[in-house]
Amino acid sequence: MDKRKVAVGEIFTYTIKASGSFSSPELITPEFKNFTIVSQSQSKNFSLKKGQIHMDFSVTYSLFAPEPGVFLIEAPQIKDTDTVLKGKPIKIKVRGKPLKEQEKIRPFIESATDI
């Protein structure tokens, strides 16, 4: 997470990283309620050691919030055969006017500004 406080419409990144030995790993990502996903990238490396899958991975999301408020990004999870590993949830404070409000005044700003 690169920021905990952002402005409405400001793009920020949220990254999930994990490394370890697993039998049959499944990543469960947060739903990102109240956020819009702009992009997603991922990197995964697998190796087999003594019958266990060793995995190093990273998933990065670029997000923004269209509304102000304090929002919670739920914890990501990795489910394996007999284990569930959980990350930590993160609170994000989003300040400013909603994007819909900003869009209403944009034509007035653009028509009054000469560049």
Place 104 in a pLDDT band, splitting at 50, 70 and 90.
Answer: low
Q: How long a stretch of residues is the chain?
A: 115
> Would you say residue 107 has pLDDT above 90?
no
Q: Residue 68: left (phi > 0), alpha (psi -120 to 50), or beta?
A: beta
Q: What would the mean pLDDT of 67-72 be, rounded to a whole number?
A: 96
- Output the pLDDT for position 53: 75
- CA-nearest of 54, 49, 52, 51 to 18 is 54
Domain boundaries, the chain: 5-112
pLDDT band at 28 (very low <50, low <70, confident <90, very high): very high
Q: How far apart are CA 101 and CA 51, in angstroms?
A: 56
| Cα–Cα distance, 22 to 11 (Å, whole number) | 33
Q: How far apart are CA 7 and CA 56, in angstroms?
A: 32
Beta-sheet pairing, 5-7 with 90-95: parallel
Query: Is residue 50 predicted with pLDDT exceeding 60?
Result: yes
Give the Cα-Cα-Cα angle 42, 48, 51 (nearest 5 degrees).
130
5-112, CATH topology level: Immunoglobulin-like (2.60.40)
**Model pLDDT, residue 111:** 46
Give this prediction's pTM.
0.77
Mean pLDDT of 101-111: 53
